[in-house]
Amino acid sequence: MSSLFLDIKEFHGVNGFELRNDIVVAVAAQACLPILKLGLSHYDNFVGIVMHADSVVAPRERPDDVGVVHAYDEILAGEAVNGGPVMLSWNDIYSSAGQACDGPAYNVVIHEFAHVLDMRDGLADGMPLLPDSNAQRAWHDVFEPEFEKFCRWVDQGLDTAIDPYGCEGPEEFFAVATEAFFVTPEKLKSQQPDMYRLLASYYLQDPAE
């Protein structure tokens, strides 16, 4: 599957970053893990993968409640935009490879490709493309209470299997929960079994097993 992935996707190294075989193979293998049972067609909505040597500083603007626009910098290890290329920082991929599993799971490739799967229905809302409205309702019934419970735990300062960054919104919760599902599955399964089962039913995989 990784070789097919490499055949249909286009890698670009930017700012002089030189792509090597071990780099593109590492990205392809990790990108294929979530779709092992779903198939490569789940990644049909993009072609390009933009690789940076390190994290990228992106200038952002956000209006506040009274309409004042605040400028700030966001540091990105990766980014996925609807229909557009997936951006990844090689340093963030490389340095997370030997990571101990004490803290919350971290895998930037799985994170960004979870966003790709989430956006297949056109919306980055934490719900991937599902077959029908019944499946969407069933997804909501599990996802919403699991998301709320998780945010409560983070507010209380508890250790979570899922990266606290997931509190940013349902789309980030889906992405970081997917990281935990594949990187520290036993931990996720014991802490949020319903969330684990929901992801297992979507990805058609049982990594804890």
Stretch that binds Zn ion, among 41-49, 51-59, 68-76, 170-178 (CB under 5 A): 170-178
Q: Are 188 and 133 in contact (CB under 8 A)?
A: no
Of 31, 93, 175, 188, the one binding Zn ion (CB under 5 A) is 175
Closest approach, Cβ 112 to Zn ion, in A, equals: 7
Closest approach, Cβ 207 to Zn ion, in A, equals: 20
Query: CB-side exposure of 7: number of CA atoms within 13 Å?
Result: 5
Q: Is 177 in the site for Zn ion (CB under 5 A)?
A: no
User: Which secondary structure element, helix H or strand E, spans residue 143, and what is its range?
Assistant: helix 133-155
Closest CA to 196 of 209, 171, 177: 177
Q: Are 171 and 115 in contact (CB under 8 A)?
A: yes
Q: Is 183 in the site for Zn ion (CB under 5 A)?
A: no
Per-residue buried b or exposed e for 19-38, using 16+ beta carbons within 10 Å of the residue's own CB: eeeebbebbbebbbbbbeee
Closest approach, Cβ 7 to Zn ion, in A, equals: 27
Which residue, 83 or 193, has its beta carbon nearer to Zn ion?
83
Closest approach, Cβ 172 to Zn ion, in A, equals: 5
Which residue has the closest beta carbon to Zn ion? 175
Residues that bind Zn ion (CB under 5 A): 172, 175
